[in-house]
């Protein structure tokens, strides 16, 4: 396979995506922890390190991006390898301070990544991982920001209300 893929750490935050040669698509399968991709298959990725267990985010931004609460995992940026990174469309919502950018497939619209420039990790939408994931859902975050239609059930998991309650939510 002559295709090359950069590590996600090589993709500068808030910049156009560039391909850095030297990372062959055919990496040793033994160091791949997980794989995933979008609905149409245009964008695929591999994770070569540990994934954080899943958080369910109920914030307004995630609701608008995904159409409902969002299940997110994350991995060290250096552990994520994206096939055809130039195909990922990135956007940032205007606002104050350092802002995360969101990566999606421009062909099928699948939400794939959440990337905050100040973090060493890259958020990955859990639903884009190939199964079995080996992950479990461990926490709800920004529960105080859930929409009025959303029924928040006591599922035994911790529920962080979010910043309006004085309880900061864990990172995506």
Strand 44-47, strand 34-37: pairing: antiparallel
* Number of domain units in the chain: 1
Q: At 87, list the tokens.
A: 């195909």
Q: pLDDT at residue 49 above 90?
A: yes
Answering whether pTM is above 0.85, one says no
pLDDT of residue 81: 96
Q: pLDDT at residue 21 above 60?
A: no
CATH of the domain at 105: 3.90.1590.10
pLDDT per residue as tens digits for the range 141-163: 999 988 888 888 889 888 889 87
Q: Is residue 170 one of the residues assigned to a domain?
A: no
Percent of the chain with pLDDT over 90: 53
Question: Rounded to an integer, what distance in angstroms lies between the CA atom of residue 11 and that of residue 170?
Answer: 24
Q: Is residue 3 one of the residues assigned to a domain?
A: no
Range of the domain at 64: 8-165
Q: Is residue 30 one of the residues assigned to a domain?
A: yes
Q: Is residue 22 one of the residues assigned to a domain?
A: yes
Q: Is residue 48 one of the residues assigned to a domain?
A: yes
pLDDT per residue as tens digits for the range 63-117: 888 999 999 999 999 999 999 999 999 999 876 667 889 999 999 999 999 999 8
Task: Using the structure block, give the residue that is written with the tokens 């959303």.
Answer: 150
Per-residue confidence band for 20, with pLDDT thresholds at 50, 70 and 90: very low
Q: Is residue 2 one of the residues assigned to a domain?
A: no
For CA atoms 130, 82, 114, 48, give the dihedral sign: positive
6-38 core/surface letters (b: 16 or more CB in 10 A; e: else): bbbebbebeeebebeeebeeeeeeeeeebebbb
Q: Is residue 88 one of the residues assigned to a domain?
A: yes
Question: Rounded to an integer, what distance in angstroms lies between the CA atom of residue 146 and that of residue 154?
Answer: 14
Average pLDDT over residues 52-71: 92
Q: Is residue 68 one of the residues assigned to a domain?
A: yes
């Amino acid at each position: 396979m002559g295709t090359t893929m950069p590590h996600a750490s090589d993709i500068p935050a808030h910049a156009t995506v560039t391909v850095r040669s030297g990372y062959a698509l055919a990496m040793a399968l033994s160091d791949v922890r997980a794989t995933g991709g979008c609905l149409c298959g245009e964008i695929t990725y591999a994770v070569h390190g540990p994934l954080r267990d899943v958080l369910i985010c109920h914030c307004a931004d995630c609701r608008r991006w995904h159409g409902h609460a969002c299940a997110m995992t994350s991995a060290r940026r250096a552990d994520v390898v994206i096939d055809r990174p130039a195909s990922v469309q990135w956007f940032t919502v205007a606002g104050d301070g350092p802002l995360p950018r969101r990566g999606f497939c421009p062909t099928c619209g699948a939400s794939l990544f959440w990337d905050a420039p100040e973090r060493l990790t890259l958020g990955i939408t859990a639903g884009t991982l190939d199964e079995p994931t080996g992950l479990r859902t461990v926490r709800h975050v920004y529960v105080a920001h859930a929409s009025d239609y959303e029924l928040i059930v006591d599922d035994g998991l911790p529920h962080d209300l979010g910043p309006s309650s004085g309880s900061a939510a864990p990172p995506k």
